[in-house]
Amino acid sequence: MNILHVDMDAFFASVEIARDPSLRGKPVIIAGLGPRGVVAAASYEAREYGVHSALPTAVARRRCPRGVFMKPTASYGAVSRSVMAIFREYTPHVQPISVDEAFLDVAGARRMIGTPAQIARTIRARVRDEHGITCTVGIASTKFLAKLASEHAKPDGLGIVPRETELRFLHPLPIRSVWGIGEKTAQKLGRLGMRTVGDIARLSVDRLAASVGTASAEHLHALARNIDPRPVRPERVEKSISNETTFGHDAPDASIWGPTLLELSRKVASRARTRGLAGRGVTVKLRFGDFKTITRSRMLPAPTDVGQEIHAAARELADEAATAPVRLIGVRLDHLVEYAAVGRQVALDEPDRGWREIEAAIDDAAARFGKDSIRSGGRLRRSES
């Protein structure tokens, strides 16, 4: 029972409230404020109105007309780095899985520092004292169960699942608690009479495979029995994935650089999928005819490896920033995490994940028939004109 999952509570909103205490107790909503903006974070007061991350900002305004809407700021990264540094004072085995959460393996710290529970309490107190924000910690023997423990203890809590009670805690939970089970998979399992994690554990792998496929069946059956051998891996050396291109002639407007931006977004997404990564930060780089270079960045509500989602953010940033003909354009995906560690946030069978399947098929076609076998419609039209 040495794995900790530390999750900052309503992180973006909490940072803003710590900076401006007059916001305390108010429904604070961090979101893109443009017509296609989405919510990045919401305080717990805002959540009472049904506001949550990934919700369109327009819908959030209707649900919470008295909400305090704020654009994301650059301060979150600095606070995140400082919080992660606190974690590393207690163990070198820290695996960030997003800007506001991480896994820690504290097995080596028991003798010198104390029990996992003592370490968790100390970390929570330091985060509160040094940054004015709260975090929730889950403690268990596996990453999967530690994350569930923190989810059930939020906000500002400590959830501990002793070894002898692991399955008693896990098996009554609904099947959507298992990483990788989204809406469609839940429907398939529901047709088999599956309602709880325990139901999955009691079903044979063969019968499960007939509904969801062999690989998924083995994965789900193992997690339902709390079999999760993945170790806590320190942060990857790879910090970002990017791609850029320089035009032969300055692109005067979006009709020219727009299709290129889409293609670059898809290439970045493809490289992320190849590496088993997803990213939450999207940056657009623009260089104009006078060689002035600017970058504009945005944090997504959840990590992604889908080109369409990267492009949606990149296009909005580029539309705002491209005030002159463009000589060079680039896209970067950062705040990378392991795709497998993100859990249900990027479950493959969620309704809006269809683009991932399409793009994965394009990856396969490119691998089999060459990279030039697939091109965007905009590129194709220009090459044939």
Say which DSSP state 236 is in. Answer: P
* DSSP state string for 316-330: HHHHHH--S-EEEEE
Q: Which residues on neighbouring strands pair with residue 281, listed in sequence order?
A: 299, 334
- In what helix (H) or strand (E) does residue 241 lie, and over which residues does it extend? strand 240-251
Catalytic residue among 16, 45, 48, 101: 101
Note if 357 is an active site residue. no
**Which sequence spans correspond to the domains of the chain?**
3-10+75-166, 26-70, 171-224, 240-384
For the structural domain made of 26-70, what CATH number should be given? Answer: 3.40.1170.60
The CATH homologous superfamily of the domain defined by 240-384: DNA polymerase, Y-family, little finger domain (3.30.1490.100)
Q: Which CATH architecture has domain 3-10+75-166?
A: 2-Layer Sandwich (3.30)
Cα–Cα distance for residue pair 286/160, rounded to 1 Å: 48
Per-residue pLDDT of the chain (385 residues; tens, 9 = 90+): 799 999 999 999 999 999 999 999 999 999 988 777 889 899 999 999 999 988 999 999 999 999 999 988 867 888 998 999 999 999 999 998 888 999 999 998 887 889 999 999 999 999 999 999 999 999 999 999 999 999 999 999 999 999 999 999 999 999 999 887 878 888 889 988 999 999 999 999 998 888 888 888 898 999 999 999 999 988 655 678 999 998 989 999 999 999 999 999 999 998 888 777 889 899 999 999 888 899 999 888 888 989 999 999 999 999 999 999 999 999 999 988 877 655 444 443 444 445 666 776 666 656 555 555 455 554 444 444 4
Q: What is the spatial distance between Cα 330 and Cα 244, in angstroms, rounded to a whole number?
A: 4
